[in-house]
Amino acid sequence: MLDKQSPIPIYSQIEEQLKQQIQQGDFPIGTAIPSERELTERFGVSRMTVRQSITNLVNDGLLYREKGRGTFVASPKVEQPLNGLTSFTEDMKARGMVPSNKIIRFEILVPDIDIAADLRLAADDQVYFIERIRFADDKTMAIERTYLPVDRFPGLQPDLLQGSLYAMIENNQHLKISHATQRMEAGLVKKEDAELLQIKSPAAILMIERISYLAGDVPFEVVRSTYRADRYKFTTDIQR
């Protein structure tokens, strides 16, 4: 099963074989893979080598470890194209998942100067500040901190945001969402966000900031999102 003459390191070969077995469904999602001792015997290699392969698969998000219990097969990441301007609700539904939200803050405040500038607000203009945890099939996916100008959406109530913000804007307010600019950065989860996402720190996250515009180039939202890096990968089409 292993090619000891190959220039490919043994731990990479084991990794590849385990990966294939996961993809074929030999080890279904959520089940434990064989123990290090079993794998050591099966492959006839040292425990160190097996551990290296498993650590790489854990770091790639294919497996996760649970202290004292073993190593398990992770759910595949959601693959999210970065090309279209879609909502979280649309994205999850398109994958056959059920989206849900938990609003943990809904306040009216005067934003800092960066957000005011992005939304082209005057010095004292107010925004709604909405903090939502977003779930797919009841699993935490992201935290979104959204700033919406009060002037543009007067009388907004939290119950209108139980579902999709974009559906509310397009169907209730009859406004046309047109385009957005987005920035993405990698980072480590903050303690409070780890609690909200129910993940253990340290954990990798993707931070995305989006400024979205209505037709006529009118900015209507600034969103700072924290996405679980173990649940997401982003894809783009590129041309030359």
221 is written with which tokens?
Answer: 């939202």
Residue 21 burial (CB < 10 Å; 0-12/13-18/19+)?
A: middle
Minimum CB–partner distance for residue 166 and ligand 16G (Å): 3
Q: What Rg do the C-alpha atoms of the chain give, in angstroms?
A: 22
38 is written with which tokens?
Answer: 């079993």
Minimum CB–partner distance for residue 197 and ligand 16G (Å): 15
Nearer to ligand 16G, 15 or 221 (CB): 221
Nearer to ligand 16G, 36 or 90 (CB): 90
Nearer to ligand 16G, 72 or 234 (CB): 234
Minimum CB–partner distance for residue 146 and ligand 16G (Å): 6
Binding site for ligand 16G (CB under 6 A): 87-89, 144, 146, 164-167, 208, 210, 221, 223, 225
Give the type of residue at 238. I
Nearer to ligand 16G, 12 or 164 (CB): 164
Q: Are 27 and 62 in contact (CB under 8 A)?
A: no
Query: E-strand spans in 82-202?
Result: 99-109, 127-136, 139-149, 177-188
Nearer to ligand 16G, 22 or 231 (CB): 231
Q: How far is CA 42 from the centre of its chain?
A: 36
Q: What share of the chain is helix, strand, coil (3-state, %, to 5)?
A: 30, 35, 40
Minimum CB–partner distance for residue 153 and ligand 16G (Å): 13
Minimum CB–partner distance for residue 180 and ligand 16G (Å): 7
